[in-house]
Structure 1
């Protein structure tokens, strides 16, 4: 634990092989200079200042210090329908994923339903991530662009899955072939 608290320079100096002092002074003064130069170079690299990759967002204050914080209207149903839908889709994926392989039947209808549920599950999952990590109050245009990007990506993936299901072997057959390869 003590090694974590030491500075980079001390860690580098501690890693230099221990040789007798006479060896450094008489036999290998160039090795000593090289070791010190490497230590200083490494410690300089590890102690550089930290730079922000992105500039801070524009900041502004609405109202004054004495204004009360806004309290939004509450509703017991707010968000519960989305949460329930997400849980139902997630729970429905388990039997739909196992059924084609357990039953031994590769039905194209079951494959299409599986692809649709996977697509819905992925879309709602990414949508929840965007809602949580890209707040509307902070970056409204970026949030809207990201949501549109998600919608476009979902449509493209849906079309690709449809094409794969209708013109190729399908998802479950492809998984079966990869598994047995």
Structure 2
């Protein structure tokens, strides 16, 4: 039995896929209209002048620094209630708001990556508005929880013990 006549084993049999599966790489949803894209997502040709997007520090280095600040700030605020007991309402509110901002920036990155404006147009804007609306409602819920109830860390302490 020669090397070429052996049957394929394991994952090697999935390497030879039909062309129909290879061409259908992007997920298409029947009721969602997308903006037609040129092949390779390239607009124009090599002789066209490059038009750079408008620079904004808010969406560049400051955005990245803000995300890192939130992530580093969450570490001591998350651990301190379990080490030192119940913390002050102000610190509890800061923890709640930082958790909300951390979630907001994470979902914002998902929307930017998976619902891009160049493909989905207005659906990208609707998703961003929905995220902002949900975050606003959550911020109001945090306000009610911190002012009228026992607070976030006390709720977790009751659930934990």
Partner of residue 9 from structure 2, selected from 2, 5, 9? 2
Structure 2 unmatched runs, 5+: 1-7, 15-19
The corresponding residue for 1:143 is 124
Q: CA deviation at 1:133?
A: 2.0
Q: Deviations over 1:119-161 (max 9, x none)?
A: 1111111112212222222222001100100000001111112
What RMSD over aligned residues (CA atoms) do the two structures have, in Å?
3.2
Q: CA deviation at 1:57?
A: 3.0
Task: Tell me: CA distance 1:170–1:5, structure 2 relative to 1, closer, same or farther (3 Å).
Answer: same
The corresponding residue for 1:59 is 36
Per chain length, whose mean CA-contact separation is higher, i.e. which structure has more relative contact order (CA < 8 Å, sep 6+)? 2
Matching of residue 68 in structure 1 with residue 48 in structure 2: yes
> SS where residue 118 of structure 2 aligns?
coil
Task: Tell me: CA distance 1:6–1:147, structure 2 relative to 1, closer, same or farther (3 Å).
Answer: closer
- Between the aligned partners of 1:147 and 1:6, the Cα distance in structure 2 is 42
Aligned runs of 1:30-69 on 2, under 5 Å? Answer: 54-55=29-30, 57-59=34-36, 61=38, 65=45, 67-68=47-48
Contact 1:100-1:110 at 8 Å conserved across structures: no
Task: Tell me: CA distance 1:178–1:138, structure 2 relative to 1, closer, same or farther (3 Å).
Answer: same
Larger radius of gyration: 1
The corresponding residue for 1:42 is none
Q: Please, which moves more after superposition, 57-66 or 159-168?
A: 57-66
* Deviation >6 Å, runs of 4+: 49-52
Contact 2:81-2:87 at 8 Å conserved across structures: yes
Contact 1:136-1:143 at 8 Å conserved across structures: yes
Please give the TM-score of this superposition, normalised by the length of structure 1. Answer: 0.63
Q: CA deviation at 1:88?
A: 0.6
Partner of residue 111 from structure 1, selected from 74, 92, 106? 92
> SS where residue 117 of structure 2 aligns?
coil
Structure 1 unmatched runs, 5+: 8-48
